Amino acid sequence: MDVDLSPLREFLDAEGLDGYLIDDDASDADQRYVSGFSAPDPYQTLVTDDGVHLLVSGLEYGRATKEADADTVTRTSAYDFQELREEYGPYEAKARGLAAFLDDHGVDSVAVPRTFPTGTADGLREQGVAVTVEPEGIVADVRAVKTDEEVAWIRETQAANEAAMAVAEGLIAGADVEDGVLVRDGEPLTSERVKTEIEIELLRHGCALDETIVACGADAADPHDRGSGPLEPNSPIVIDIFPRDKETKYFGDMTRTFVRGEPGEEVKRRYEVTREAFEAALEAVEAGVTGAAVHDAACDVIEDAGYDTLRSDPDAETGFIHSTGHGVGLEVHEPPSVSPVGEELEPGHAITIEPGLYDPDVGGVRIEDLVVVTEDGYENLTDYPVSIEPVER
């Protein structure tokens, strides 16, 4: 993927720095974005005026030369890392080897992200390299604006998400009601079983996730309670799935709320208010509008209906007790924020819209789509019905 690193290089030039150094592994979204590469073990990515340069172990060298979006790839053996380790120990050896790598690229001073290992930074300084912690989150801001290719990858992940949601919805829709619980194939239908089937379906589509949310009753009143045990009839079941594509590493995110049976009047009212807030927030999305304004649109609907929000009561424990959304990409939560402090939205920002209402005495309701901001509105990357009644799709 062609990554525009000009904002990062402009920062380096303005600060009089020679390069930008990342030292992490596949868990670091900035490094994955800049290098176009991921590995289970730590590796280093250096950005200079003349390109992007990787330093990797011999185990990863062949794959990095084929897969990485880098101008050069160098083995750690080129700097005698093993010999240095025997002589100086692991920490000083790493600093000496990295310093030699930087020297080969004409780098005497580097900016590093806030997540950069402190010990490595101190070790580089001892080797004469000037190390400055970069305060701006520049790479994260660049990542926030998605290219057409990235949008396509997110859309693919969201399509897998929709397939998994259909499996979950079908399990609930086809369940019988016996003795106050949902029953499927003669066994209580549990949160755990639904989550297992979600994960299996995601694997069929090349995606995976560490955990998902299938929460019913009072569990669903806690927005991030994963849920457990038998699912109940007549009670809202919140299903929130946020998978990651195993190849592209891009996330999707979607939430639906279902009731198998007859929802009470208060549940139905909360669902309709949440849906109205969801639609109002979507209507507010366009380039130039702030995430805060989109959040306000959702809060206006919910407060007008008589429910608390954190805007009306910062200490509220029921009602709308979280932000309206967040960015999605190589991380499931990344800039921009759709919240009281949400920044200006730009074309290419991929964001969730996910208002909800929560009360342990009633349960939880949340509806979430994933959209990409355009000049005059948004493109919805989610193509899944919004309905409280589950059906087999």
Q: Which of 27-41, 101-115, 143-157, 265-279 has the lowest mean pLDDT?
A: 27-41
Tens-digit pLDDT profile for residues 367-378? 999 999 999 999
Is there a domain that residue 263 lies in? yes
pLDDT at 76 > cutoff 70: yes
- Mean pLDDT, residues 269-273 taken together: 98
pLDDT at 26 > cutoff 70: no
CATH number at residue 351: 3.90.230.10
The answer to whether 37 touches 76, Cβ cutoff 8 Å, is: no
Q: Which pair of structure tokens corresponds to residue 338?
A: 């759709």
Sheet holding 176-178, edge to edge: 176-178, 181-184, 187-188
Distances (CA, A) of 230 to 5, 87, 258: 50, 59, 15
- For helices 148-173 and 191-204, the axis angle rounded to 10 degrees is 140
Tens-digit pLDDT profile for residues 324-354? 999 999 999 999 999 999 999 999 999 999 9
Residues 295 and 370 in one domain: yes
- Give dist(CA 312, CA 119) in Å, integer: 45
Residues 228 and 112 in one domain: no
Q: Which of 97, 125, 143 is the last residue of a domain?
A: 143
Q: Which of 143, 169, 184 is the last residue of a domain?
A: 143
Residues 212 and 303 in one domain: yes
Is there a domain that residue 128 lies in? yes
Is there a domain that residue 393 lies in? no
Residues 191 and 105 in one domain: no
Q: Which of 93, 125, 143 is the last residue of a domain?
A: 143
| Tally of CB atoms within 10 A around 162 | 19
Is there a domain that residue 392 lies in? no
Residues 162 and 62 in one domain: no
Is there a domain that residue 283 lies in? yes
Residues 111 and 245 in one domain: no
What does the buried/exposed string (b/e) look like for 1-31 if buried means 16 or more CB atoms within 10 Å of the residue's CB?
eebebeebbebbeeeebbbbbbbbeeebbbb
Residues 305 and 348 in one domain: yes
Whole-number percent of the chain with pLDDT over 90: 91
CATH number at residue 54: 3.40.350.10
| Tally of CB atoms within 10 A around 185 | 10
pLDDT classification of 25: cutoffs 50, 70, 90: low
pLDDT at 27 > cutoff 70: no
pLDDT at 41: 84
Residues 72 and 174 in one domain: no
Residues 237 and 363 in one domain: yes
pLDDT at 214: 98
Is there a domain that residue 386 lies in? no
Q: Which pair of structure tokens corresponds to residue 388?
A: 């409280």
Is there a domain that residue 391 lies in? no
* DSSP string over 157-188: HHHHHHHHHHHHHHHHHT-EEETTEEEETTEE
pLDDT at 205 > cutoff 90: yes
Distances (CA, A) of 380 to 149, 278, 296, 351: 16, 13, 20, 10
Where residue 324 falls (left for φ over 0; alpha for ψ -120 to 50; beta otherwise) is alpha
Phi, psi of 369 (to 5 degrees): -120, 165
Note down the domain range covering 21: 6-143
pLDDT classification of 270: cutoffs 50, 70, 90: very high
Number of structural domains, the chain?
2
- Mean pLDDT, residues 62-89 taken together: 93
pLDDT at 312: 96
Tens-digit pLDDT profile for residues 123-161? 999 999 999 998 878 999 999 999 999 999 999 999 999
Residues 126 and 24 in one domain: yes
pLDDT at 174 > cutoff 90: yes
- Mean pLDDT, residues 232-237 taken together: 96
pLDDT at 48 > cutoff 90: yes
Residues 162 and 272 in one domain: yes
* DSSP string over 211-244: --EEEEGGGGGSTT----SB--TTS-EEEEE--E
Residues 214 and 274 in one domain: yes
pLDDT at 175 > cutoff 70: yes
Distances (CA, A) of 62 to 117, 175, 194, 210, 391: 26, 51, 40, 29, 49
pLDDT at 315 > cutoff 70: yes
Residue whose pair of structure tokens reads 């960015």 in the numeric block:
327
